[in-house]
Amino acid sequence: MSVARFWRKIPQRYNLTGTRCATCGRYFFPPRYLCPDCRRAGKIGEHRFSGMGKVVTYTVIRTASEQFEQMTPYVLAIVELDEGPRLTAQLVCSPDEVRIGMRVRPVFRRISADGESGVIHYGTKFAPENP
Question: Which residues lie near another protein (CB under 8 A)?
Answer: 1, 9, 30, 56-69, 71, 74, 76-78, 86-90, 95, 100, 111-112, 121, 123, 125
* Shortest distance in whole angstroms from residue 21 CB to another protein: 15
| Distance of closest approach, residue 61 Cβ to another protein, in angstroms | 5
Shortest CA distance to 131 belongs to which of 108, 105, 110, 111? 105
CB 36 → another protein: shortest distance, Å? 9
Nearer to another protein, 50 or 59 (CB): 59
In the complex, least distance from residue 33 CB atom to another protein, rounded to whole angstroms: 14
Closer CB to another protein, 109 or 128, in the complex: 109
Per DSSP, what are the bridge partners of residue 87? 79
Contacts of 48 by beta carbon, 8 Å cutoff, 6+ apart: 15, 16, 17, 18
Neighbours of 129 (CB within 10 A): 12
Q: Which is nearer to another protein, 50 or 57 (CB)?
A: 57
CB nearer another protein, residue 30 or residue 128: 30
Scored b (16 or more CB within 10 A) or e, 79-113 reads bbbebebebebbbbbeeeebeeebebebeeeebbe
